[in-house]
Structure 1
Amino acid sequence: MADSLEHIWAHCLKVAARTDVGLRRSNNQDSFTVDIAPGQQAFEQRGHLFVVADGMGAHAAGELASKIATDSVALAYRKLKDLSPPEALLTAVREANTKIHTKGQTSDDFRGMGTTISALAILPQGAVIAQVGDSRVYRYRNHKIEQLTFDHSMVWELRAANQFPDGKVPDFIPKNVITRSLGPNPEVQVDLEGPFPIQAGDVFLLCSDGLSNQFDDAELGQILASLPPEEAVEALVDLANLRGGPDNITVIVVQVLGPQQAHEDKSQPAPPTGQRMSMYRLLGWALALVLAIGAGFLWLEAYPVAALASLVVAAGLAVLSSLREHVHGSTFGLRRLGKGPYTAAECRPGEDLVRNLQGVIRDLRRAAAEENWEIDWSRFDAHEQTGDKALSDGDFAAAIAGYCRAISDLMRQLKGRRERTETIF
């Protein structure tokens, strides 16, 4: 995020994002976009936008597909000013699908390329999401984490069709087959979810399946509850890699600290979207009122047919004005889109995750000793001791934070060591 945008929103919004190739892939097919409103008026009109995409395809096709998705959705969403935010988001995703599909027809290398997309807009009316594929958007609030999106995967589709009465997914059902993506087909069905109410303290997590496949929801929530966004993003990526890192990993964490009011010197807040009324709608309601009054006079003057005609026209104008208001987004916040949240889990920081992190630390120490890693242990030890003290005090959140910081410190050192080695040779 640009320094200027950090400055104007830092008191009410914290955002961190990271993408990582993982340990078993040679290239990163994930992509993300963080598009913060440049001022108060822009926020009132379109909010802040966050997008994660997980590409698929041979050669560089997946990388290209996800990059097209994140770039084009952010650009189109801001440009489609005549549409309500949900409609603009829907249209932007559909346009991205068209671009990816068209590109896929230009070369055998690109044919069939595709990508998931999860796009979150933080708006004055709440959080609105566009979803295709199995990347995810979560919301953490008060020790509860909810998945706000539906996975377009074979497992989730079969479960939704009540094919697993006991809740258990048979082993023969592939876990990584998705049923929707941008690109392979000329048209795509896009899920819209929300608006979900936003409270101070809410934390939103967007991620590719390279992250979500390595954690259960309760673990994700406990880490979000225990660390600020920047450290949470780092810890989540590090732990996903330490659990095998079989796929690319992309994470965006958005923490809402309070009402979104930009600290700007010159810009004046725009009226909230729900309160703006175009001249056309004002004129429509005014004409309807005049015609209704005229109908009353005609009725009193014994012209019932003319009075009835005036009332019909007045009613028609009123309906048209209401429809215009509905289409252009003034009332979209009153309508719920989609069926989310789809899962919910309690995630109060607890001893199970703490013990798991202690095990990770023991394994790292053992590996460092066996392989003679050159590690500065001072910060690592300090963080571990902080975690130990918190655990003895029964403060599981602080213990999780301490152990995660220790793990991330060591992983940063290992990454720096690997990069130095690659540079030398």
Structure 2
Amino acid sequence: MLASATPQTAPAGEESPLDVGWTGAVPSAAVAPVDDELTCHACGQGRIVDGYCDHCGTPPPNPRDHLVESPTSWVGGVCDIGRRHARNEDAMSLSAAEAPGSRAVLVVCDGVSMATDSHIASLAAAKAARAVLDQPFPKGAGTPDAWAAGAGRALTGAVARANEAVAAAVVEDVPNPPSCTFVAAVVEDDVIVAGNVGDSRVYWLPDAADEPARQLGRDDSFAQEQMAAGVPRQEAETGPHAHSITRWLGRDAPDDLTPHLTTLTATPGWLMVCSDGLWNYCSEAEALRTLLHDAAGRLEEPTPTAVAQALVDFANEQGGRDNITVALARLAGRGSSTTSEATASAAPVEGDPTDG
């Protein structure tokens, strides 16, 4: 039996299915659904009555099968079930201020497929982490470095809070308790701090060809351990145990959940937070930059949400073997106060509280 739904945060009748835990159609006494919402999407003839089509018996689509978030014009994301899985165990949670580059939080969690009810775990973790990261960080001396140090501490705290949320997501004792990966990036005044536990990733994809694209942080995975031992990336990431992770969130998580932290100052470019449903098909940062630029170039309006959808479409076209989540922030673009003369910080040194 599933755990009880998460506490509602919206007024009765206005809650999202994701606020109460999706178990079918969510009735609302306050807002009557329009006819299109009542029409069965499977047969196109029946109407949804008591959670099922009165003609063919099909339930309505789970809203988690395809989610789109566009908090502002410069931040957006898409979370999709893919083509092979019965449910979407990815989750994302985004927030952003209106001014480009001013402040944003992008969180993505990927439920571990072999664990019980990991779709519940990933959503609980994403929402709990964003609640922490939405709070202002102490600026200390008021310098970017001081803010980055505070952001690093906040990300570490967000991981701890997300882990607690995952552990509490399902109350029953089960052999494989719910678990998920964690990755997040926080932007403030075009300074980025990113952190991850597991193999979901953050990429920095600058516009300038002479500035290298890079993955921020590193995976907690068997493939990463192989690459550290000298195995070529392609071989390591396509091997039989490539997606075996070495750290995760959940009741059976390892003791050390300190995230891999990275700090940089953005030039014009794209910040991407994604699950392995995307990078399964395009892993290297330079190749991913080319893929994104090509996708954006084909769009009449390359908004972050539109580009994210194009990348999700790409992953589905390659087979869509996993759930796919892509969240993007467009930094130092039109309207940003950051000049193109800013440069990315040096590669981080492991162990520094603001680097990973």
Q: TM-score range by the shorter chain?
A: 0.5 to 0.7
Q: Is the alpha carbon distance of 1:31 and 1:145 closer, same or farther for their aligned partners in structure 2, counting shifts above 3 Å?
A: same
Contact 1:25–1:247 (CA<8 Å) still a contact in 2? yes
What is residue 13 of structure 2 aligned with on the other side?
A: none
1:237 to 2:293 alignment: no
Q: Is 1:134 aligned to 2:199, yes or no?
A: yes
Residue 110 of structure 1 deviates from its aligned partner by: 8.1
What's the TM-score once normalised by structure 2's chain length?
Answer: 0.62
Name which one, 1 or 2, has greater alpha-carbon Rg.
1
Q: 1:337 to 1:121 in 2, by over 3 A?
A: farther
Q: How does 1:110-149 map to 2 (within 5 A)?
A: 111-124=176-189, 126-141=191-206, 142-143=208-209, 144-149=212-217
Q: 1:175 Cα deviation (Å)?
A: 1.1
Q: Which amino acid aligns with 1:94?
A: A
Residue 181 of structure 1 corresponds to 248
Aligned partners of 1:55 and 1:114 also within 8 Å: yes
User: Quick one: which of 80, 86, 89 aligns to 2:152?
Assistant: 86
1:67 partnered with 2:123: yes
Deviations 1:354-398 (A, max 9, x none): xxxxxxxxxxxxxxxxxxxxxxxxxxxxxxxxxxxxxxxxxxxxx
2:265 paired residue number: 197
C-alpha distance in 1 between matches for 2:96 and 2:233: 44
Give 1:36's match in structure 2, choosing from 96, 102, 105.
96
Aligned to 1:24: 84
Cα contact 2:88–2:119 (8 A) shared by 1 = yes
2:324 alignment partner AA: I
Q: How far does the alpha carbon of each residue in 1:296-344 deviate from its partner, in whole angstroms, 9 at most, with x for none?
A: xxxxxxxxxxxxxxxxxxxxxxxxxxxxxxxxxxxxx99956489x9xx
Q: How does 1:349-364 map to 2 (within 5 A)?
A: none
Report the CA distance shift for 1:234/1:125 in structure 2 as closer, same or farther (over 3 A): closer
The answer for the alignment partner of 2:330 in structure 1 is 255
* Residue aligned with 2:126, SS: helix
- 3-state DSSP class of the match of 1:56? coil
Of Structure 1 and Structure 2, the greater strand share is in: 2
8 A contact 1:101–1:185 mirrored in 2: no
Tell me how many residue pairs correspond in the alignment: 257
Distance 1:224 1:140 in 2: 9
1:399-410 correspondence to structure 2 within 5 Å: none
Distance 1:158 1:191 in 2: 20
Do 2:205 and 2:213's aligned partners in 1 also have CA atoms closer than 8 Å?
yes
Aligned residue runs from structure 1 range 310-389, under 5 A:
338=350
Q: Which secondary structure state, in structure 1, belongs to the residue aligned with residue 86 of structure 2? A: coil
Partner amino acid for 1:27?
R
* Mapped contact 2:278–2:325 kept (Cα < 8 A): yes
Is the 8 Å Cα contact of residues 194 and 261 (structure 2) preserved in structure 1?
yes
CA contact (8 A) 1:98 1:186 kept: no
Identity of aligned residues (%): 26
Matched position secondary structure for 2:245: coil
- CA distance in 1 between partners of 2:254 and 2:198 (Å): 16
1:91-106 superposed matches below 5 A: 91-103=157-169, 106=171
Q: Is the CA contact 2:197–2:248 (under 8 Å) kept in the aligned structure 1?
A: yes
Query: Whole-Å Cα distance in 2 between the matches of residues 166 and 334 of structure 1?
Result: 23
- Pick the structure with more helix per residue: 1
* 1:197 counterpart letter in structure 2: T
In the aligned structure 1, how far is the partner of 2:115 from the partner of 2:181? 17
How far is the alpha carbon of 1:235 from its aligned partner? 1.8
Please state whether the residue corresponding to 2:94 is helix, strand or coil. strand
Shift of 1:259: 7.1
Distance 2:76 2:131 in 1: 21
| CA offset digits 1:149-204 (Å, max 9, x no partner) | 201110102322x25389954976511101111112274422242321111x2111
- Looking at structure 2, the residues matched to 231 and 250 of structure 1 have their Cα atoms a distance apart, in angstroms, of 13
Normalised TM-score (structure 1): 0.53
Query: Deviation at 1:57?
Result: 4.8
The equivalent of 1:420 in structure 2 is: none
C-alpha offsets along residues 61-120 of structure 1, whole Å, 9 cap, x if unaligned? 11111111110011122347568221111111112112312445x213584211111100
